[in-house]
């Protein structure tokens, strides 16, 4: 079960105290620094980056405030601050100061990631009414803070959802901010601000567009979009799943895509394992080549949908198996099986001996980190 520590950090309790955004005052952004090519301490597993960094080690045990803000319609009579569980909710006018991190991969022989942190701070929600949700937390010791971000995010989203259930969703219409404000040892002064780029997927950087892919692109140019067609529906849900990464939500999204391609047969059926297996055979593959199997993936979906599991058994493995199934079947339906890149995302399309060389050096990932700030908006 996922767990994350709580903090007893004091929060504003009356209208006379500073608004939530004032907690960021005094956090001075560092000068722009290019740290150069810093070898990543995070080893790739199943195409994902994970692990701890030296910077994170210095924050172990610190008190902090995890924030998510939404564009929300002002509600007359709503208290300036109120709580849903441990989450403190308020409404105020933007902007709110935050920072934003982007991680993008470069093409090339050695996987190289550019991590850019934009500080300044960045103003979010200029001229907009915002609903700000704040959860007092403690940064975990000997654990990746990214895992804690997942737990804190789920708690905050569940809390504001309960408020929306009691009122309606005007209170939280579009998420615009997520960050963590870190405080000093006695929890009296903010000393830093963090945000998190999670589930950054690594790809074989050596993949290239060959004549086969150019033929495939020519076929896609002739695709006729029909909003209710199985291919259209499956493709939309597939992309939502890949953007979400290996999460319970993505398992459900991928199963919706499968059912669009192989609709459940029979009264009352919510899934049809046999129908998916038959379509895989029709496409020229053996369903037993997928691990976990179609049936086991259906079980993972059932754990999520019918039992509310946030961490079902084989979540990671099930995600990659379902993703490959949907990708394969969509390629089949679009008649681009022969023109597509390898079904396994982690494989290069270079031919031997270049392909073997690319696979061997793909484990030597590097990260270049750069800090950028807007000097004109650095708080004094």
Three-class DSSP category at 183: strand
More confident residue, 362 or 260: 260
Judged by average pLDDT, the poorest of 23-27, 72-76, 241-245, 349-353 is 23-27
Q: Which two tokens stand for residue 167?
A: 């009122």
For the chain, what is the largest distance between any 2 Cα atoms, rounded to a whole number of angstroms?
Answer: 70
Tell me the C-alpha distance between 244 and 353, whole Å. Answer: 35
pLDDT tens profile 320-367: 999 999 999 999 999 999 999 988 887 777 777 776 776 676 667 788
Three-class DSSP category at 328: helix
pLDDT at position 230 over 50: yes
- The most confident of the ranges 272-276, 308-312, 322-326 is 322-326
pLDDT tens profile 196-216: 766 677 777 778 889 999 999
Beta bridge partners of 337: none
pLDDT band per the 50, 70, 90 thresholds, residue 147? confident
Q: Which helix (H) or strand (E) element contains residue 252?
A: helix 248-261
Residue 367 burial (10 A CB sphere; 0-12, 13-18, 19+): buried
More confident residue, 23 or 171: 171
At residue 267, the pLDDT reads 61
Beta bridge partners of 126: none
- The most confident of the ranges 18-27, 186-195, 286-295 is 286-295
pLDDT tens profile 88-129: 999 999 999 888 888 888 887 777 888 877 766 788 899 999
pLDDT tens profile 29-67: 333 333 233 333 333 333 333 333 444 446 788 999 999
At residue 379, the pLDDT reads 45
Q: What are phi and psi of 71, to 5 degrees?
A: -70, 125
Average pLDDT, the chain: 80
Residues 6+ apart with CB under 8 A from 213: 339, 340, 341
Sheet-wide strand order for 112-124: 33-39, 366-373, 112-124, 96-106
At residue 191, the pLDDT reads 85
Query: What residue segments make up the domains of the chain, in order of their start?
Result: 20-202+366-377, 211-340
Q: Which of 17, 29, 370, 7 is nearest to 184 (CA)?
A: 7
Q: What are phi and psi of 297, to 5 degrees?
A: -65, -35
Q: Which helix (H) or strand (E) element contains residue 281?
A: helix 273-282
Q: How far is CA 116 from CA 33, 102, 120, 370, in A?
A: 10, 5, 13, 5
Q: What are phi and psi of 227, to 5 degrees?
A: -55, -35
Beta bridge partners of 367: 38, 113
Q: Which of 267, 294, 364, 374 is nearest to 40 (CA)?
A: 364
Is residue 341 within 8 A of residue 210, CB to CB? The reply is no
pLDDT at position 376 over 50: no
Tell me the C-alpha distance between 355 and 337, whole Å. Answer: 20
Is residue 307 within 8 A of residue 248, CB to CB? The reply is no
Tell me the C-alpha distance between 1 and 151, whole Å. Answer: 10
Tell me the C-alpha distance between 56 and 40, whole Å. Answer: 14
pLDDT at position 298 over 80: yes
Sheet-wide strand order for 81-84: 81-84, 87-93, 129-138, 63-71, 174-183, 190-194
pLDDT > 70 fraction of the chain, expressed in percent and rounded: 77
Judged by average pLDDT, the poorest of 142-146, 271-275, 288-292, 307-311 is 142-146
At residue 345, the pLDDT reads 81
Tell me the C-alpha distance between 348 and 350, whole Å. Answer: 5
Q: Which helix (H) or strand (E) element contains residue 71?
A: strand 63-71
pLDDT > 90 fraction of the chain, expressed in percent and rounded: 49
pTM of this structure: 0.71
Tell me the C-alpha distance between 205 and 358, whole Å. Answer: 9
At residue 226, the pLDDT reads 79
Is residue 139 within 8 A of residue 60, CB to CB? The reply is yes
At residue 268, the pLDDT reads 55
């Amino acid at each position: 079960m996922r767990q994350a520590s709580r903090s007893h950090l004091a929060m504003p309790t009356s209208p006379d105290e500073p608004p939530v955004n004032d907690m960021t005052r005094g956090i001075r952004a560092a000068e722009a620094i290019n740290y150069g090519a810093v070898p990543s301490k995070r080893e790739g597993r199943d195409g994902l980056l994970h692990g701890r960094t030296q910077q994170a080690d210095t924050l172990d045990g610190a008190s902090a405030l995890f924030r998510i803000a939404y564009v929300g319609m002002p509600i007359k009579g709503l208290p300036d601050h109120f709580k849903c569980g441990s989450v403190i909710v308020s409404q105020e006018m933007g902007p709110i100061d935050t920072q934003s991190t982007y991680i993008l991969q470069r093409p090339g022989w050695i996987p190289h990631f550019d991590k850019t942190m934009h500080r300044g701070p960045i103003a979010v929600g200029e001229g907009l009414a915002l609903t700000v949700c704040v959860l007092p937390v403690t940064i975990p010791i000997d654990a990746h803070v990214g895992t804690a971000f997942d737990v804190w995010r789920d708690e905050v989203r569940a809390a504001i959802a309960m408020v929306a259930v009691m009122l309606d969703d005007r209170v939280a219409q579009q998420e615009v901010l997520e960050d963590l404000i870190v405080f000093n040892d006695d929890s009296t002064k903010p000393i830093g601000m963090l945000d998190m780029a999670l589930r950054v997927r690594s790809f074989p950087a050596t993949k290239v567009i060959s004549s086969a892919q150019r033929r495939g692109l020519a076929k896609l140019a002739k695709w006729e979009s029909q909003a209710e067609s199985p291919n259209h529906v499956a493709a939309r849900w597939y992309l939502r799943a890949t953007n979400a990464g290996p999460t319970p939500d993505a398992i459900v999204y991928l199963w919706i895509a499968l059912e669009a391609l192989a609709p459940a047969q029979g009264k009352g059926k919510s899934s049809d394992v046999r129908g998916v297996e038959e379509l895989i055979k029709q496409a020229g593959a053996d369903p037993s080549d997928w691990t976990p199997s179609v049936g086991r993936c259906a079980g993972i979906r059932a754990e999520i949908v019918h039992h509310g599991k946030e961490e079902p058994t084989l979540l990671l493995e099930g995600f990659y198996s379902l993703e490959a199934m949907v990708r394969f079947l969509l390629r089949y339906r679009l008649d681009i099986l022969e023109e597509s890149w390898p079904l396994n995302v982690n494989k290069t399309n270079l031919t031997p001996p270049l392909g073997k060389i690319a696979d061997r050096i793909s484990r030597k990932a590097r990260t270049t980190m750069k800090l950028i700030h807007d000097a004109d908006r650095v708080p004094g």
